[in-house]
Structure 1
Amino acid sequence: MSSEETRGVTDGWRSYELLYRTREGDVVRFNMETNESTILVTNRKFEMYKASKYEVSPDMKLVLLAYNVQPGRHTPLLLHCAAVTERDRADTDAYAQIKYTLSPSDEREIDEDGGWSLSLSVTSFLHFHRETWILNPPEVRNAHLQFAGWGPRGQQLIFIFENNIYYRATVENRSIRLVSTGKEGVIFNGLSDWLYEGGRAFAGDRFYAFGIPLDEELPEVLRKRLAYATINDTLVPRMDIPMFTGSLYPTARQYHYPKAGEENPVISLYVVNLNGPLHTIEMRRPEDQRIGEFYVTMVKWATSTKLAVNWLNRAQNISILTLCVATTGVCTKKHEDESEAWLHRQNEEPLFSSDGLRLFFTRAIPQGGRGKFFHISMSISQPNSSTDTLQSITSGDWDVTRVLAYDEDSQLIYFLSTEDDPKRRHLYSADTVGTFNRRCLSCDFTDSCGYVSGSFSPSMDYFLLNCKGPGVPYAAVYSTHDRQKVCDIELNLNLRRKLDTLQMPKVEHREINIEDYSLSVQIMKPAGFIDTSHYPLLLLVDGTPGGQSVSEQFDIDWASVLVSSFEVVAVRFDGRGSGFQGTNLLHKVQRRLGMFEEKDQLDILRFGMCHETLSQVYGGYITSLLLSSEDSMLKCAAVLSPITDFTLYASAFSERYLGPPKPDRRAYEMANLAYRASQFIDKKFLIIHPTADEKVHFQHTAKFISRLISERANYTLQIYPDEGHFIHNDATRQHLSQSLVNFFEECFRLSDFEFEEVLEEESEEEG
C-alpha cells in the first residue's frame, strides 16, 4: 500500500501547533489551544509543482517543496524545490522559489564522484517587486549543490558545495564557508560517504549537528555552533560499477567502498563557532587502547557547550558514550558498553534535561535466562563532581524500542516498548523518581491499535499518536494529562471504504517452540481459505540480524496481492537472530550467519507444505541456503540482489557478525554460498540483480553463477542494466513485479500438478 493511500503524521510540533499535510493535500498548522487550523501552503501549489516532499522553516514563513522528480546522471532522483512564503497561503502572486536537487533520505545512491547533483537559487516575487538571492558562492558558481536544509531557528540555511559546508543566518544574508577541506568523492564534510550513508551503517542522510541551543535565555553568541563530521576515504579501496548503456563503449562509475577486512574511512568530529571569526575545535575521543579504529555512531547537542558523542570500535563490541566540551574538544566518558558478540542499536540519541545534568539512554541490561533486553538508564551528574549516579528506570524481559520525551515538571519519561508483546509497540510513561512506576497510555484505546508511534509537543501538554496497526492506520492528538482525545488528524477513511469492497487476506499470528524459544509466525490466508484444501505456501524471507518480520503493523504489500490473486498461503517468521526477544536469541548467529536461520526456517516448513520463497539482500542469502538444503521441501525460490560472499560485502556489516576475515577466514568460508552450488541442480532458482547495484554489487551474483555453471546447477538469471539497488524506473519496477508473478505462477502450477500425481498414486494404492 503506497504512502499516498495510507497516511500517518510525522511532520512535527511547533510549540502548541502541530504541522501536517491533510488528506486534501494542504500543509496546515493546527493550534491545540484555539482549536484552529491555518493553511501554510495549499495543495494547489503541490499540484502546480507536482511536489512530492516538503519542509517548513522553523519560523513557518517558508516551505520547501520538492518537485519534478526525474532520473539524473549522478543520482537516481533529482528533485527541484520551491520555497513558498507565508504570504502565499492566500494564493497571491507572492512566492519565493528555491530550485535544487535532493536525493530522498530513504533511497540515496552514490554518483561517480561520491556526491549528489544539485543546484540552487532563491528568488522572491511580489507583484512588481523582485529580489533574487543566489546561494552559489562565487568560487562554486557552477558546482552542484549536495545538500540544503533549514536550521533549527528562523530561516537559517546550511548547504554544501564540493563537500564543503556553507551557512546563512537567513536567506538574505551572505554565505559563509565554514570548511574548505572537501574533496569530491574522497573527503566529505557534513555529508556521509557510502559506508555511513549508503550502507545505512550508522548516521543516516547527513552528518552534522546544528548546534544552536533553543534556550532563549542564552545570549545569541552562545547559541550558534555547528558540529560536523569529516570523513576521509583516501585509503579506502575503490569499486568500479560498469555502465553499459548511453555510450558506444561501456564506462565505469567509481566510488570508495570498504569491503570486509579492507581499509575503512577515517572520521573526525569538529565544532565551529558561527559568531565572529571562525574558530574550529576537534572533539577528541577518550584514550582507550581497546578502541583503535572506530566509528562515530551518534552526535547530539546536550547543552549550549556540550556535545554527546558515541564512539564504537571497528569490531563493534565496545562503545563509549561521551560528553564533549565544544570549546576545548575534551570528551568525558559517561557510559561504556561491551559485548562478547556485537553491540546492537548504537545510533540512538539520548535525552537530556535542560541543565544537562540528567541523561537518559537505552542500554542492554541482563534480565535472566533470555539474556539482555534494552531498557532506560538515567545518569545523574552532580554539580562540581566527577561522579555520576546510574539508575535503571525500566526492567523486564521486554525492550524499550524508543525514548520519546522527558517532562521535567512531572519528572516522567515517555517511551515505546514491547512489554505487551514483542509484535506490538505501545506508549508508556515512567516515573524517574521513587519506585519508577510505569503506566501504558495507549494499551486500552482500541483492539485495532496495537502498534503505535508518537511525539510530544514541546510543552508536554499534548501527544500525537500514530496507530500503525493491526487495523487501518489513524492519527490523533491526545491530552497528556488525562489521555482524552483532542482531535483526529487522519482516519484514512478512503482506504477503509476501499478495503470494505475487497476480499482481503486473513492474517493469523502463532507461536511455535523451537528448542527453548517461543517464536512468532505470521500466516496470510486467502479470504476463502478452506482447511481441507491444498494451497501452495510462500515463505517470505527478509531482514537482517536484529530485525523483525512479524509484527502487528498494518501492511498491504506484494505478498498480500499474491495471496488474494493466486490462492496462496504466505508465511513470515522471526527465528534465531531476530530482534526484540533478548540478546541470547539475537546473538545466536554470531560468526555463524545462516546456520540457525536455515534450521529455523526449515522447521517452519515442516508445519505446512511449502514450495516457494521470495527474498532480497540478506534474505536472499538465507533463501539460497534454504533452497539448497538437503532437508528442504522447497521447489522454487526467487532472490533479488543476494549476498553470496560476505568478503565482498561492506566491512561494517560483515565484520559485525563474522569478525575480521583475517587471520581466521573459517566463518566467511562457512557462510559462502559457493559451497552449496551443487545442491541447486534440481531446483527452480530465479536470481535477479541490477548490474549497477552499489550496495550488493553484481560481483556477488557473477561469482556465484560461475560456480553454479561449473556444478551444472539449474538457475535463471535476470538482470536490469545500469539500474541501482533501488529501482526507480516505473517500467523496470513493473517488469520486475510481473517477472516475479510469472515465475511463482509457474511454480504454483507445478506444485498443483505434483499434488495431483500424489493423489492419483494414493488412489491407486487404495484401489
Structure 2
Amino acid sequence: SLLVIILVLSLIGLSIVLLSKDDGGKLFGSQLTLDDLFQRNFQIHDPDAKWISDEEVIFRSWDGDVLKADIHNNETQLLLKNTTFVSATFKASKFAVSPDLNFVLLGYDVKCNVYYFLEVRELNPPEVSDSVLQFASWGVQGQQLVYIFENNIYYKTDVQSSSWRLTSSGQEGLVFNGITDWLYEEEVLHTQTAHWWSPDGSRLAYLNINDTLVPSMLLPRFTGALYPRGKEYSYPKMGQINPSVRLYVVTVDGSSITTELRPPDSFEKSEYYITMVKWVTKERLSVRWVNRAQNMSILSLCDVTTSECTKKHVMTSEKWLDRQSEEPAFSKDCSTFFITMPLKHGGHGTFNHITMISNQFLPPTLLLFSSHRVFTVDPFQKECLTCSLFKSKCAYYDTIFSPNYQNVILNCRGNTAASPRQQNHCYSVMGLAWHNNSYFFLSVSDSAPSGQAVSDRFSLNWESVLVSSDSVIVARLDGRGSGFQGQRILHEVHQRLGTVDVQDQIAALEYLVRLPYIDGNRVGVYGKAYGGFLSSVLLLSHSPLFKCGIAVAPITNWRLYGKTEREYTVKNTTVHFQHSAELVKLLSASNVNYTLQVSIFPDEGHNIASTKSQHYMLNAVLTFFRRCFEEELVVVPQTSKEDE
C-alpha cells in the first residue's frame, strides 16, 4: 500500500514525503512528480454513490464495476462490469442506472454526448435519425427517460415506448429548455441541468432561458476542418442585457399540461435570477428568486395545481447576498423549514447559521448537515449523530441523505488529523523538524471573493510537486473578501476589489519571508482568473517582493468580464485571450519585462479537459518556477599572475 504523509501548518504546505513498502517490507522514500499526479495510484477514488431507495445504494468500485448495496442486509450485487467502460464498442465515461435497475444509460462520446442503452439501442429524437444529444437521464420511476436535443425536452415513459416532445421553443444558442446557457451553468446553478422531477415522477419542472437579446461572443475553433470555424455564445457583460428566465411545470401523464410559475410581483417587471428549485411534495416546489443586483431574494412555495406561489421568506442586504443556491429543508406539511441566514454573532459581526422558521412545534425527526457534522434537530436541543464516527480517521465529510432522511452516505474529504482514507491508500499528517535549510516561497491566489483557499480538504496537485521535489513552501491565504469567516470579512471587498485583499496578501508575505527558513530573495506568486488579477496587481505594484509570478487567464478589465452583476465576485471567464491581450498591451506600453507562455491549447473549451494538455500546461508552470527559483551563480573573475 502507498502511504502519503503531508504536513500542513497554518497557511503553509511545507513538505510531502512519499513512503512505500518494497518487497522486503521496508519503507523507502521518494519524491512526487508531475507524472505521478496523472497515475491512478495517486488519485483518490470517488465511488459516486447514489441512493436508489431508502436502503439501497449504487456505487462504483475502485476497479470500475457498478454495484448495488443493500445497507439493511449488507448484501452487494454486481450490476455492470468495468469492461463496459473500456470496450471498443462503448468506451463509456458516463453511466446512469434506471430506477427499476433493468437498464443502464451510457455516455459514449462526451464531446457529442451520445447516449446508448445497454441492449444496445441508440437514443435519438423521433424527427432526426442522426442526432447529437445535449443531455439524457432517467426519471425517478421505472424506466422514465428524459433527454434534450436542439434545446428541447423529449420524454419516454419506458425504453420500449415512443418519444414525445415536451417543448418546442428551443433554439440553438438562444432559447434553452431544461438545460442551462453559459451564464446559468457557470454563475447561477453551476450545472448543465435545469430540470427537476417531482417525487412521484408525474411532473417535470424546467427552466426556459431566453438569450435572444443577450450580446454574443464568437469563439473560434481552429482544428478539424480546412478553415477555422466560429461558435457564438451569449455572453452578458457588465451593464448588458441578461437572459430572461421562466419556470414551467409539465405533466408527463400523456396530457403534457404545462403551467408557468410566475415570479413575485416585485420582480415581475425587472430582471431576476432563479437560483434554486426544489420539490417539497409531489404538488409543491420551493423556488428562490433573486434580483439582478443580488441584494434581495424571495423564497416562495409554489402549488403547481393552482399556479400560486406563496412568499415564505424575504432576505435583503445593503451589499450582496451569498449562498442563494442552497436548498431549504421543509417539513412534510410545509409549515416549517430550515434555511441558512446571516445572524449577528456577538461582537464578531454576522455569520451564516442554520435557522428554523416555523409557526408550530417541530418534533426532532429531521436530519441536517452542519459544519461537516450530521445532527438531529430539536427546537430545544441537538444531538450530533456522526461526531464519534470514524473520529480518528476522518472529520470532513460530504453527505448524501436517503430519500426518507433515515440514512446518510458520508464521503470523507479530509481532516486536520488525517486526510481521506480511500480503498488501500492511506493519507495522514505528520510533523517535520526544521533543518538549517533555506526554502523558496510561492504564494498561490486562485480563489474568488466568497471562496475558501485554506481548508482541510485533501488534494494532490502541481503545488505538491514543487513542495515535494523542489524545497518550495506553498502558502494560501484567506484574507478579507474570503468566505466562511463572517459577513464583515466577506463584504470588505465590496466595490473595492484588488485593494484590501491585496493588502492582506502583502501583510502575510512580509511576515512569512522573515521566517529564518525562507529565502526572501526567491519568492513567487501564482493566480488564475480572479487570482490572476491579484497576482498581476501584486507583481506590478509590489515587484520588490517577488522574483517572478504567473497570471493564468487574469481579469484585467471589469468591463470585459461576463458576470451576474454582484459587483464583488468573479469566476472563470471564456474571454481569457481578450483579458490577456489587454494585459500584454499594458505591459508592453509600460516597458515591463514579461514572458508569455506561447503554447496554445486549441478547441479545449472553457477549461482544459484533455489530460495531455493538462500535463503539458502544468509542466510549463513547474518549469517556469524551477528556473525562477534556481540559485544564481556568482561568477568570480579569475586573477592572472600578470595582474598580481
TM range (shorter): 0.7 to 0.9
Structure 1 residues 602-628: Cα deviation after superposition (integer angstroms, max 9, x where no partner) = 111112236111221111111111112
> How many residues are aligned here?
581
CA contact under 8 A between 1:56 and 1:62: conserved in structure 2?
yes
* Equivalent position of 1:481 in the other structure: none
Against the structure 1 CA distance between its residues 316 and 201, is the aligned structure 2 distance closer, same or farther, given a 3 Å change threshold? Answer: same
Unaligned runs of 5+ residues in structure 1 are 70-76, 85-95, 99-119, 122-134, 215-222, 381-387, 392-407, 418-425, 475-490, 509-526, 660-670, 672-692, 758-767
Give the aligned residue type for 2:117.
Answer: A
Q: Does 1:208 align with 2:195?
A: yes
CA contact under 8 A between 1:167 and 1:177: conserved in structure 2?
yes
- Displacement after TM superposition at 1:632 (Å): 5.0
Distance in structure 1 (CA, Å) of the matches to 2:120 and 2:419? 37
* Equivalent position of 1:6 in the other structure: 44
Distance in structure 2 (CA, Å) of the matches to 1:269 and 1:632? 54
CA contact under 8 A between 1:237 and 1:258: conserved in structure 2?
yes
Against the structure 1 CA distance between its residues 463 and 409, is the aligned structure 2 distance closer, same or farther, given a 3 Å change threshold? Answer: farther
**Bigger mean CA offset, 463-472 vs 611-620:** 463-472
What secondary structure sits across from 2:347 in the alignment? Answer: coil
- Displacement after TM superposition at 1:539 (Å): 0.9
Structure 1 residues 428-472: Cα deviation after superposition (integer angstroms, max 9, x where no partner) = 314333x13343623563344131122233454433222221334
Against the structure 1 CA distance between its residues 440 and 274, is the aligned structure 2 distance closer, same or farther, given a 3 Å change threshold? Answer: closer
**Bigger mean CA offset, 177-186 vs 447-456:** 447-456
Against the structure 1 CA distance between its residues 289 and 190, is the aligned structure 2 distance closer, same or farther, given a 3 Å change threshold? Answer: closer
* Equivalent position of 1:414 in the other structure: 368
Distance in structure 2 (CA, Å) of the matches to 1:244 and 1:276? 45
* Equivalent position of 2:120 in the other structure: 97
Identity of aligned residues (%): 40
* Equivalent position of 1:449 in the other structure: 394
- Displacement after TM superposition at 1:650 (Å): 1.2
CA contact under 8 A between 1:576 and 1:586: conserved in structure 2?
yes
The root-mean-square deviation of aligned C-alpha atoms, in Å, is: 2.6
Give the aligned residue type for 2:149.
Answer: F
Give the aligned residue type for 1:17.
Answer: E
Q: Does 1:619 align with 2:531?
A: yes
Against the structure 1 CA distance between its residues 595 and 742, is the aligned structure 2 distance closer, same or farther, given a 3 Å change threshold? Answer: same
What secondary structure sits across from 1:599 in the alignment? Answer: helix
- Displacement after TM superposition at 1:2 (Å): 6.2
Distance in structure 2 (CA, Å) of the matches to 1:742 and 1:319? 47
What secondary structure sits across from 1:546 in the alignment? Answer: coil
* Equivalent position of 2:61 in the other structure: 22
What secondary structure sits across from 1:200 in the alignment? Answer: helix
Q: Does 1:64 align with 2:105?
A: yes
1:338 to 309, 312, 316: 316
Tell me the TM-score normalized by structure 2.
0.84
1:45 to 72, 75, 84: 84
* Equivalent position of 2:261 in the other structure: 283
Structure 1 residues 320-358: Cα deviation after superposition (integer angstroms, max 9, x where no partner) = 000112123221110011111111011111222233333
Tell me the TM-score normalized by structure 1.
0.71
Distance in structure 1 (CA, Å) of the matches to 2:105 and 2:388? 37
CA contact under 8 A between 2:49 and 2:59: conserved in structure 1?
yes
2:420 to 446, 470, 473: 473
* Equivalent position of 1:512 in the other structure: none
* Equivalent position of 2:146 in the other structure: 158
Q: Does 1:317 align with 2:302?
A: no
1:596 to 500, 507, 531: 500
Structure 1 residues 458-501: Cα deviation after superposition (integer angstroms, max 9, x where no partner) = 45443322222133424xxxxxxxxxxxxxxxx421x33xx7xx
CA contact under 8 A between 2:99 and 2:143: conserved in structure 1?
yes
Distance in structure 1 (CA, Å) of the matches to 2:524 and 2:504? 16
Against the structure 1 CA distance between its residues 605 and 632, is the aligned structure 2 distance closer, same or farther, given a 3 Å change threshold? Answer: farther
Distance in structure 2 (CA, Å) of the matches to 1:17 and 1:329? 35
What secondary structure sits across from 1:603 in the alignment? Answer: helix
Distance in structure 2 (CA, Å) of the matches to 1:245 and 1:549? 36
* Equivalent position of 2:576 in the other structure: 697
* Equivalent position of 1:648 in the other structure: 560
**Bigger mean CA offset, 287-296 vs 224-233:** 287-296
What secondary structure sits across from 1:308 in the alignment? Answer: strand
Against the structure 1 CA distance between its residues 360 and 38, is the aligned structure 2 distance closer, same or farther, given a 3 Å change threshold? Answer: same
2:374 to 404, 421, 428: 428
Give the aligned residue type for 1:411.
Answer: T
Distance in structure 1 (CA, Å) of the matches to 2:279 and 2:403? 17
CA contact under 8 A between 1:641 and 1:725: conserved in structure 2?
no
Question: 1:533-682 to 2 correspondence within 5 Å?
Answer: 533-606=437-510, 607-608=512-513, 609=520, 611-630=523-542, 633-652=545-564, 655-658=565-568
Give the aligned residue type for 1:427.
Answer: R
Against the structure 1 CA distance between its residues 280 and 331, is the aligned structure 2 distance closer, same or farther, given a 3 Å change threshold? Answer: same
Unaligned runs of 5+ residues in structure 2 are 1-36, 514-519, 636-644
Distance in structure 1 (CA, Å) of the matches to 2:626 and 2:349? 43
Distance in structure 2 (CA, Å) of the matches to 1:290 and 1:373? 31
Distance in structure 2 (CA, Å) of the matches to 1:645 and 1:11? 42
Give the aligned residue type for 1:539.
Answer: S
Q: Does 1:437 align with 2:437?
A: no
CA contact under 8 A between 1:642 and 1:696: conserved in structure 2?
no
Against the structure 1 CA distance between its residues 253 and 79, is the aligned structure 2 distance closer, same or farther, given a 3 Å change threshold? Answer: closer
Distance in structure 1 (CA, Å) of the matches to 2:174 and 2:500? 39
CA contact under 8 A between 2:448 and 2:530: conserved in structure 1?
yes
Give the aligned residue type for 1:233.
Answer: D
Q: Does 1:295 align with 2:273?
A: yes
Structure 1 residues 386-442: Cα deviation after superposition (integer angstroms, max 9, x where no partner) = xx56x9xxxxxxxxxxxxxxxx9852432131xxxxxxxx31314333x13343623
Distance in structure 1 (CA, Å) of the matches to 2:529 and 2:338? 35
CA contact under 8 A between 2:288 and 2:297: conserved in structure 1?
yes
Distance in structure 1 (CA, Å) of the matches to 2:465 and 2:394? 23
**Bigger mean CA offset, 349-358 vs 16-25:** 349-358
Distance in structure 1 (CA, Å) of the matches to 2:495 and 2:91? 48
Structure 1 residues 617-656: Cα deviation after superposition (integer angstroms, max 9, x where no partner) = 111111111112237511111121111111111131xx21
CA contact under 8 A between 1:59 and 1:154: conserved in structure 2?
yes
CA contact under 8 A between 1:270 and 1:280: conserved in structure 2?
yes
- Displacement after TM superposition at 1:701 (Å): 0.9
Structure 1 residues 163-204: Cα deviation after superposition (integer angstroms, max 9, x where no partner) = 11111111111212111111111111111111001x233352
Distance in structure 2 (CA, Å) of the matches to 1:443 and 1:325? 41
Distance in structure 2 (CA, Å) of the matches to 1:650 and 1:733? 25
- Displacement after TM superposition at 1:229 (Å): 0.9
Q: Does 1:136 align with 2:125?
A: yes
What secondary structure sits across from 1:753 in the alignment? Answer: coil
CA contact under 8 A between 1:203 and 1:297: conserved in structure 2?
no
Which is bigger in relative contact order (C-alpha 8 A, separation at least 6)?
Answer: 2
- Displacement after TM superposition at 1:20 (Å): 1.0
CA contact under 8 A between 2:561 and 2:573: conserved in structure 1?
no
Distance in structure 2 (CA, Å) of the matches to 1:409 and 1:457? 19
What secondary structure sits across from 2:606 in the alignment? Answer: coil
Structure 1 residues 284-342: Cα deviation after superposition (integer angstroms, max 9, x where no partner) = 11111698210010111112222211000000010000011212322111001111111
CA contact under 8 A between 2:373 and 2:386: conserved in structure 1?
yes
Give the aligned residue type for 2:471.
Answer: E
Distance in structure 2 (CA, Å) of the matches to 1:565 and 1:186? 49
What secondary structure sits across from 2:539 in the alignment? Answer: helix
- Displacement after TM superposition at 1:258 (Å): 0.3
CA contact under 8 A between 1:203 and 1:347: conserved in structure 2?
no
Distance in structure 1 (CA, Å) of the matches to 2:150 and 2:452? 39
- Displacement after TM superposition at 1:55 (Å): 1.4
Q: Does 1:708 align with 2:587?
A: yes
* Equivalent position of 2:117 in the other structure: 83
Give the aligned residue type for 1:638.
Answer: I
